[in-house]
Structures are given as C-alpha cells and as structure tokens.
Structure 1
C-alpha cells in the first residue's frame, strides 16, 4: 500500500472526491498510451497562483505489488505546474526532473521492500499507471490530501504489430520478437544476468524500434540447466545461427546485447562466433565469470567469487562489489576473454558506481587489451554516478534489489538522476551502434 497508509485509508483516498475544487483543475499526461521508453510530458492547469500540490504516480506490477512515487510542486502565477520546467521542492526527488515520478517509483511502505518494478509479460496487458494531483504538500509517508485531478496512462512494452514467437529450435529456448513489416531487420540476441529465466522487456522494445530481437535465456528456464554450473558456447552458437538464417533478419551477421553475466557471454560470442559482428556489454566483465565456458576443445575457467569479501550493512543489505576475484591478477589471466581475436565491434556500457562488481574497471581493461593489440573497434560509454542495472529509459531506479538466487537484498549502486540519465543516453546510442554495424 501507499507509504504509511492503511488499507482502509487507501480505499477511502481512492474513492471519488466528495467536494468539488473551486477551480477546474486539469491534468494532462502525454502520451496517454505510448512505448515504455518514451518520455512523458506532465502538466497541471487550473490551480490557484502559487498553490502547493503533490503529484503522485501509482502502479501495480503483475504480482499486485503497489509501487508509488511523489513530488512537491508550487504553481506559477497562472496556476500551472509544468514538469518540463518546474522543480520539485521535495518528496522522492528534488529539482527539475520531468521523468522523476517514473524514475523514483519504489515499493509502497506496506509492501515487501527491495522489489524491482519489472514487466515480465510484455505482450498481454500494458503497464497501467495512475497520475494524481493532491492539494498541498504531503510527505511520502503520510496520507495524501484531497485529489484535485487524476488520469490513467498506458506504458507499452510491445509496439503495434510486433510479433512474439516462442522458440524451441533444437537446443535453443527463448522468444523471438519481430517488428511489423516484411523486413529484413537487423538481428540482435538479448541476454540478462544471473537472475535466470526468460526476460523479454528489452527484446520487445528493441523489436518496437525495428530490430528482430531474440530474448535468450541460458539457465533456469524450461529444460535448460537450473543453475550456472557450466556454459557451452555451442548453445549460443546455435542461437546465432538460427537468427542469422531467419528470413526476416538482415545478414550476414547479427548483434548481441547482454547485461551482467550476459555481458561477458556477449564478449565471448563475438570473440569466437563468426555470426556475431557487434556486441554490447552492459555492466559486464572482461573475463568469463561464475562457471567454465567450453567450446569444442577450448575451456575458459570461470572467475570465482569469494563470499568472505561480502560486506553487510546494519540494515542487512549485501554489498558484493569486492566478491569477484580480480580478473587482472596474474593468477586469473586464464579466465580473460581473448577479445583481440574478434573481428566485429564492441560497445561497453558501464556505471562508475556499479556495486555488483567493478564493471567500469573491467571495461577499461578490455579497451586497453584491444588497443595493445592494435584494435580500435570499440566504443566505451562510462557513466559517473550510474549503478549496475542500466535498463531502457524511464525504468525506475532501484538502488537495492532482492537477488533471485541468493534471496537477500543486494546493493546495486548509483544515484537516481545520474543513473536514469545514463539509461536515457545509452539506450539510443546502443541502437545507433547496432544499426551502424548490422547494416
């Protein structure tokens, strides 16, 4: 429920207003139905000059967990609040942040903390958010005042005409997302980290932007291995071959994008697989991590974790940033991915405040290795103040999230504005990079 609000109080607050405001207050949010990576324009009109109001956003995820955010504003002399122009005076953020109400969405105080707002079923119902205007300033943990205006909006993770095809092709599992039209389209394999399972929200958004995107799970899904005990590059090779041969995919090569563990898998794919000609590593490592990677007679050991280096805060939040062994230590050189063998192009996207592991340092080491071997086939996007999980734009910032494997809250690092601006900037640059090298 809302921060500090009982279920009964929430129901009363959600009920229609009994007293009409003196002036007709209007709230406009555009687009009212649009892709989840689109910016919103929020404006309130019809207020009294300098009137204080609180803007809130409410949304339930697919597990019926309620997320909310709030910010305080003061109308100008014409009775208008425009989030493109006006600064939040308090609440969950301050300053001029037009998308701050989405960026700061977090579990309401009555919900289990550290949950991540994430769209899992991308092709059924859109994500529905309610934007509300309350009279006066109310703190995030108090019962909000009278509702002056409200509007519901839809955030789509799959654009009109995008098709989703569940994939069981030989040993490969996943889902293929195809844009509308005949194509051919640039093909991209999309992978995430050690949460496992099938994650599709980035693939469906990429398809909405003109890519044939294959969401590729590699463990903890259907008949795939339940845990990361060993990686066989042949599995990823089969996925690359399937996508590059698809009649709606523009060949001859495909791209790959991966976050976290998916990032170092992306680097291994472009290094060893001729079908992969462009790789985007988001918060990845320059070494193979977690478990050994085999490809024919080749084996790259997995860089290990030392849990004795995990720090636990007074609030029982785990900081695992020092747990991974140092890939640059001479004892671990056999775990490094020989990136210099790749003929394609690299894009490294990292946050300097990543607390899952030291991805900024790893990306700089990868760049140095490429340069030392006479390579300039890379772009490095290094974002100060950004944490680990750099998602598509408008995704809420999540400083701490429950790890699905460990079941404990993990500190991801970053600061709200810097992290979300990194998401905004990197998303379009990722697409430019893929379009440039897959054409």
Structure 2
C-alpha cells in the first residue's frame, strides 16, 4: 500500500508539472515500484537568437562567415552592418533574410531578398556599405591608419526593416574586426634622399619579393594596399609623388621627376630584407602611367608590372626635363560633366589626347605586364589604353608578356576585395567643391575586386617568387 501510494503521488506530481513545462512521460507503472520508460523535456522558453561571425578577426581580403540560429522557422529578419571610418563617418549596409524550417540562415548559402544587395552574397554586408543617411556628401572609404582595424558591428533585427527605422528591435549582435596589416608586419615611414613614402616588411628574415606601389592624382600617401601586400608576404613601398606635405612645391603640382622614381626603385633593390631581382611595380590611374614610365627608365629592371585603369601617357605637358609642374586642376580641356555637374575625366586619357612625347615606349618593356580594365570606368579610357598596350607589344613580338583582365560593370577604383564601391566622390573641396564620377555598379564591381585581387597575387607569385 505504501509503495503504491508513493508511485501514484509521483505520477500526479509529474502531471501537474507537465501543465506548466510540457514534461511528457512515456512508460507504465510496474508493480507500483517505479516508472519505466523515457521522458522528453520541451521548454516553452526558446533559446535566444544567436548571430555568429567566423572568424571575428580577419584581413580585409578574407571572408567572414555570418550565420544566425535559434530563430522561429520561416521568420523574417534583417542583418545590419555598421562601422565608423577613420574620419568618424558612419557607414552601413543591411539585407533581408528568411530563416529556414530549422530557424537558421547562412550568408554563405542563403539569399538576401532585399536591402543593400540581393541574392547569395557571402560578403555583401561589407562591399555594399554606403554612408548612413545624414552623413557628409561625396565620401569615399579609405583606411587612413592601417595599424588599427575597421570594427564592424553586425546586428540581427526583427522583421524586414531598414536600420534607420524607429523603433528597431535588435535580436542579437556580433562585432568583427577587419585588418589591413597582419601581426608581425613592420611599418616604416621613409623620408630619405628626397623620397616620401611608407615601407611595409612582412614577418620573418627575408629576403622578400617587393612591390613599388603608386596611386593616382588624388595625391597623399594611401598605405592600405601596401600593408595588405606585406600581409601576403611581399615587401611594399607606397610612394607619394603629389599632394603630400613633405614633397616640394605646391600641393596641386607634380614637382618630382624621373630621378625620384628611379631612386624609389633603387631603394627597394638596395634594402637588406628585399630580393633585388624580385621587385615589381603597381599603379592605379595616373600611377598606372608612372608604373609603365618608371619601367623604361635607365637602371630600372622590374620583374613584373601591374596597371589598373590608367593611361600610357600624360595629359599634362612636361614643362621641363625631368620635372612636371603643370597644375593638376587647370588641365580641363577634355573634362565633361553629367547633368548633376559631376566631372568625368574619361576623355582626358584617350591615347589620342595624351601628349605624344609623354607616351611610354611600351616596346621597351621586358617583363610581364598585367593590365586591369573596369569596363564602366568613367575616370580613364582604360579599354583604349589596354588596346594600345596590346597592339604595341604584339608589334614588338612581346605578346607573351601581356595579360589583360577586363570586368563588365566595374568602375575606376578597383581596390582590395570587399571594399565598398564609390561611384562618385569629392575630387577636391577647395577652392570649390568638385565631385567626380568613377563609375561602376556595386555587385559586378565587388566581383571584379575579388577576382582581380586573387589574380594579382597569382601573377606576383608567378613572377616574383619563382
């Protein structure tokens, strides 16, 4: 009697508990002694939604896998990414997703159905970023300090919403770091023998292959491509040649000439951590012209060249031997404007509009040359310049040296992968504001940046390490 009473009491208590917590008992009472069978616990409390980014700390040319879990099945959510530029401006992107029957979704395999991009885009949250509403006009995202990362706050929001709506319910969040400079890379400012630049050396004893890195007429000293090269095992010297406080002359003029670029190349060859016969040159826009021009100077024997959306000559008159002093903002002969008043520089670099004496003697180039074309480039006549390079090298019996990469829908600023595209940005703000059109469309431009970077590294591997 006592044992039977106790067993019935236990069952009664279990039934009472089950009304609150849905405890299901499977089995039967045997001889009043014990309950035989299994129990399944189903809590009415669902685990909190979880958002993960793997890995949370990466180089900017690496993918981050973003996943969400513990959502209701077939649930509408928004993933939002936000970060501050080095100048303090807020950049953001967002995308709408629907969880599957298991309450999860994965940016590597699932489709965005709206927002800043659509379709399956594993890194769409990064390359689709744009200035948030209310930020300054004409922004272009460029890393100023490569020794610190971009810190990206990624949040999971309830429903298909815009992150600027109020109120917005945040379900989960994670923070990711995106670095241009790997641990162990050494950064050294160079101000010697008249040179103005920054040298990046990879970790380890060397000697390393190296790149001389030149940007366009925007001027200054952008370091982020060079620091990323060093993170991939290549010493890199980013060289300023216009618009830098440590260069001679007015900031809007080029006041250095052939000897300056010869000295920069020689600086790399003479460095104790660099393999003297494994030095290449890379340039974008006007830096592309300087890349080809430098390769033909006396004493300069590069192992390879990479040109990105730039001319084979200068539209600015060489006023005297070895020094260029034409004011950059006065050469407006071939400028065009769209209906918003944005300037289009494309016609300026047509081969027929270049000063004949400035056009590089391409037939003198003796090393492999890769040229990258954004087919929607509105700032340079890239396709026409690529054609001229190809025709000249073919006529010189050097077709085997030439590699062309051409990307439909890509604009002028083909940068490291997953960088946000700027179709237009401020070219100058003084004495008056001037917006320029770079061209490009976000998704194809992003694809071009990813593919071009991969092929650039393969090209460098082939010609600088073997």
Q: What TM-score, normalized by structure 1, do the two folds share? A: 0.89
Question: Who is 2:177 aligned against?
Answer: 154
Question: Who is 2:280 aligned against?
Answer: 255
Question: What stretches of structure 1 of length at least 5 have no aligned partner?
Answer: 1-20
- Correspondence list, 1:352-367, <5 A: 352-367=375-390
Question: Who is 1:245 aligned against?
Answer: 270
Q: Are 1:229 and 1:291, in contact at CA under 8 Å, matched by a contact in 2? A: no
- Correspondence list, 1:131-280, <5 A: 131-139=154-162, 142-143=165-166, 145-225=168-248, 226-273=251-298, 274-280=300-306
Question: Who is 2:138 aligned against?
Answer: 114
> CA offset at residue 317 of structure 1?
3.1
Q: Are 1:195 and 1:405, in contact at CA under 8 Å, matched by a contact in 2? A: no
The verdict on how the C-alpha distance between 1:144 and 1:307 changes in structure 2, with shifts beyond 3 A counting, is: farther
The verdict on how the C-alpha distance between 1:126 and 1:145 changes in structure 2, with shifts beyond 3 A counting, is: same
**Distance across 1 between alignment mates of 2:269 and 2:167:** 54
Q: What TM-score, normalized by structure 2, do the two folds share? A: 0.84
Q: Are 1:228 and 1:290, in contact at CA under 8 Å, matched by a contact in 2? A: no
RMSD over aligned CA atoms reads 2.3
Q: Are 2:257 and 2:324, in contact at CA under 8 Å, matched by a contact in 1? A: no
**Distance across 2 between alignment mates of 1:420 and 1:403:** 22
More off after superposition, 271-280 vs 150-159: 271-280
Question: Who is 1:11 aligned against?
Answer: none
The verdict on how the C-alpha distance between 1:307 and 1:299 changes in structure 2, with shifts beyond 3 A counting, is: closer
- Correspondence list, 1:39-54, <5 A: 39-54=63-78
The verdict on how the C-alpha distance between 1:410 and 1:389 changes in structure 2, with shifts beyond 3 A counting, is: same
The verdict on how the C-alpha distance between 1:309 and 1:220 changes in structure 2, with shifts beyond 3 A counting, is: closer
Q: Which has the higher contact order (CA 8 A, sep 6+)?
A: 1
**Distance across 1 between alignment mates of 2:209 and 2:327:** 31
- Correspondence list, 1:27-426, <5 A: 27-123=51-147, 125-139=148-162, 142-143=165-166, 145-225=168-248, 226-273=251-298, 274-292=300-318, 305-307=331-333, 309-314=335-340, 316-322=341-347, 324=348, 326-328=350-352, 332-376=355-399, 377-404=401-428, 407-426=433-452
SS in 2 for 1:277: coil
The verdict on how the C-alpha distance between 1:271 and 1:78 changes in structure 2, with shifts beyond 3 A counting, is: same
**Distance across 1 between alignment mates of 2:264 and 2:403:** 25
SS in 2 for 1:252: strand
> CA offset at residue 207 of structure 1?
0.3
> CA offset at residue 277 of structure 1?
2.8
**Distance across 1 between alignment mates of 2:198 and 2:49:** 45
Question: What stretches of structure 2 of length at least 5 have no aligned partner?
Answer: 1-44
**Distance across 1 between alignment mates of 2:321 and 2:277:** 22
> CA offset at residue 169 of structure 1?
1.9
The verdict on how the C-alpha distance between 1:293 and 1:426 changes in structure 2, with shifts beyond 3 A counting, is: farther
Within the candidate set 446, 451, 456, 1:430 is matched to 456
From the CA coordinates, give the structure whose radius of gyration is larger: 2
Deviations for 1:205-226, whole angstroms, at most 9, x for unmatched residues? 0000000100111122233142
Q: Are 2:315 and 2:349, in contact at CA under 8 Å, matched by a contact in 1? A: no
